[in-house]
Amino acid sequence: MKKTLFDKVWDAHVVSTVDQGPTQLYIDRHFCHEVTSPQAFDGLRNRNLKVLRPSQTLLTADHNIPTINQDQPIADAISKKQVDTLSQNAKDFKLTYYGLGHKKNGIVHVVGPENGYTQPGMTIVCGDSHTSTHGAFGAIAFGIGTSEVEMVLASQCVLQNRPKTMRINFTGDLQPGVTAKDMALYMIAKLTTGGATGYFVEYAGQAVRNLSMEGRMTLCNMSIEMGARGGLIAPDAVTFEYLKGREFAPKGQKWDEALAYWSSLKTDKGANFDKEITLDASQIRPMLTYGTNPGMGMAIDESIPTRDQVESASLSSFEKSLAYMGFEAGESLEGKQIDYVFLGSCTNGRIEDFRAFAGYVKGKKKADNVTAWLVPGSWLVMDQIKAEKLDKILEEAGFELRQPGCSACLAMNDDKVPAGKYAVSSSNRNFEGRQGPGARTILAGPLVVAAAAVNGRITNP
């Protein structure tokens, strides 16, 4: 029987199947952060249970941590309690923990891949929707709820209904200056935020193969924003080269054995998907959002749709979004003055994103009207930024680096965009209040963020 990549990985991890019910799926790697794990650990205590396989769970603090003065106690009481609780849970259950001050601390979906924890053929979960990021390695990776976090800690398994499969083919080549983030925003604008609900998506085609691992992670990261359970890409030479030599990747003979298995992880020719879509990558231009969900996107040189271009069922939410954003139907956003830019998050906080940003701003200056938050996804990314002297380029252009963390992606720390202010952001969600109460978020890729930072307004890079 011909199998998809998803089928191969899923079937290899089935422990049992409930009749007319869910699958008991074995989990290879479990990531935890401070926001969705406290009740799960309390559940273990209440039932006098241990973590079944401690070596397969990794903890890191990221959502609530400050991005300045990390050597000082966290000022916000709630944030401090969550981070302190995670630290205590790591001690109590003897789990690996990359807390504040640890050289490997950072955003969970950046830390996993860069240390070699994320590998092809794995099942990976975390109490975080953007766990889909890890699918870039040919893994089945998805977010779970807190009760499921407890389930995995206790049993190394989770109950899941098998999703349907979809393949999205990106044919052709991307134009210069078009990034993986633009691919994602283009795709979601085409499919809508519910277009992949119930599906696990495999990304394929020439444009996907040509992406770096960082670009592939960005694309898979955004899968959840169109309703997908997750996204994945078949591993290849790009994947293997990225993983080789990383601390927790296989070594020696184990590497050779892993490589042989990983090379088999691809969809068989003739395998069937429940749905298949083809998009022409050469038609994608730099993208941005104009509304309050990631599907409200357009090319930077296009105009916001007019009311007669919007389906009647969506008209009310369309008008509500524009009212919140302070935009008009049919309006062009090029030249629109902005107040903040944010480079970072599990979507665009990797070294490739800082290279792109630094490459654009080199020899230029930050606009006086712009507050810029440049937040590496981890301390290892920060180390690489300094090793490549990108920090000097940024400094000469008037930018300062903040310390790693989730930061303004979801504003659970002090990095909040003030009410009514516009932020061009490389993060993944533009919901009302996502970056602070009343904040107005325009999602974009790192080059569009850089152009806005230098020009003080929305500019085609």
DSSP state string for 349-377? -SHHHHHHHHHHHTT----TT-EEEE--S
| One domain for residues 179 and 41 | yes
pLDDT at site 19:
92
In a domain, 335, yes or no: yes
Reduced to 3 states (helix: H, G, I; strand: E, B; else coil), residue 239 is: helix
Q: What is the pLDDT of residues 99-135, one digit of tens each?
A: 999 999 999 999 999 999 999 999 999 999 999 999 9
Helices and strands (H, E) in the chain, number of each type: 16, 18
| One domain for residues 68 and 135 | yes
pLDDT at site 36:
96
Over residues 348-377, the mean pLDDT reads 98
Over residues 435-459, the mean pLDDT reads 98
In a domain, 35, yes or no: yes
Q: How confident is the model at residue 369 (pLDDT cuts 50, 70, 90)?
A: very high
Over residues 361-388, the mean pLDDT reads 98
Number of domains in the chain: 2
Distance CA 348, CA 351 (A): 9
pLDDT at site 398:
98
Domain boundary among 265, 284, 303: 284
pLDDT at site 355:
98
Q: What percent of the chain has pLDDT over 90?
A: 100
CB-CB contact of 29 with 126 (8 Å): no
- Strand ranges in 312-448 using DSSP code E only, listed in sequence order: 340-343, 371-374, 422-425, 440-443
Residue with tokens 């290879």: 28
| One domain for residues 109 and 145 | yes
Q: Which residues lie below 8 Å from residue 180, measured CB to CB, with a gap of 6+?
A: 211, 214, 215, 216, 218, 219, 445
CATH code of 134's domain: 3.30.499.10
| One domain for residues 243 and 292 | no
| One domain for residues 134 and 82 | yes
Counting Cβ atoms within 10 Å, is residue 436 exposed (0-12), middle (13-18) or buried (19+)?
Answer: buried
Other C-beta atoms lying within 10 Å of the C-beta of residue 432: 17
In a domain, 224, yes or no: yes
Query: What are 9's two structure tokens?
Result: 């990985």
Q: What is the pLDDT of residues 222-259, one digit of tens each?
A: 999 999 999 999 999 999 999 999 999 999 999 999 99
Over residues 62-78, the mean pLDDT reads 96
| One domain for residues 407 and 312 | yes
Query: CA dihedral in degrees (52, 53, 57, 59; nearest 10)?
Result: 60
Q: What is the pLDDT of residues 374-385, one digit of tens each?
A: 999 999 999 999
Q: How confident is the model at residue 317 (pLDDT cuts 50, 70, 90)?
A: very high
Distance CA 411, CA 418 (A): 11
Q: How confident is the model at residue 439 (pLDDT cuts 50, 70, 90)?
A: very high
**Adjacency order of strands within the sheet including 29-32:** 96-98, 57-60, 29-32, 123-126, 140-143
| One domain for residues 13 and 40 | yes
| One domain for residues 319 and 278 | no
Distance CA 134, CA 235 (A): 12
pLDDT at site 67:
97
Distance CA 199, CA 284 (A): 24
Q: How confident is the model at residue 18 (pLDDT cuts 50, 70, 90)?
A: very high
Over residues 45-62, the mean pLDDT reads 98
Of 145, 161, 138, 108, residue with least CA distance to 4:
138
Strand partners, 60: 98
| One domain for residues 248 and 299 | no
In a domain, 460, yes or no: no
Domain boundary among 259, 284, 309: 284
| C-alpha count within 13 angstroms, C-beta hemisphere, residue 202 | 27
Counting Cβ atoms within 10 Å, is residue 161 exposed (0-12), middle (13-18) or buried (19+)?
Answer: exposed
The pLDDT mean for the chain works out to 98
pLDDT at site 375:
98
Query: CA dihedral in degrees (239, 241, 246, 252; nearest 10)?
Result: 110
pLDDT at site 225:
98
| One domain for residues 101 and 167 | yes
Domain boundary among 223, 256, 284: 284
Range of the domain at 164: 1-284
pLDDT at site 335:
98
Q: How confident is the model at residue 333 (pLDDT cuts 50, 70, 90)?
A: very high
pLDDT at site 215:
98
Over residues 206-223, the mean pLDDT reads 98
| One domain for residues 242 and 345 | no
